[in-house]
Amino acid sequence: MSKKRSIKSQPLTEVLNPFDSGVTYADFLKSLPSGKTATEALKNKCTPEQLEWLEIELKIFKNK
């Protein structure tokens, strides 16, 4: 069984990757530095396709 990652266990300077197992969108958004977008924060960690998909998903998530 996978252990759920918590933002509390991560260093404050690390941006969580929402594609990692156990990372929620809420945790990811809390880990983003102020003024940075998901694309800016994950530019070298994800593919352009993943970043495009994530931006759409986050818009939907924020509107709930």
**Quick check: 18 pLDDT over 90?**
yes
Give the number of other Cβ atoms within 10 Å of residue 14's Cβ: 9
pLDDT at 7 over 80: no
Report whether pLDDT(6) > 70. Answer: no
Asked if residue 12 has pLDDT above 70, the reply is no
pTM of structure? 0.74
Rounded Cα distance between 9 and 22, Å, is: 13
d(CA 18, CA 15): 9
How far apart CA 44 and CA 50 sit, in angstroms, is: 11
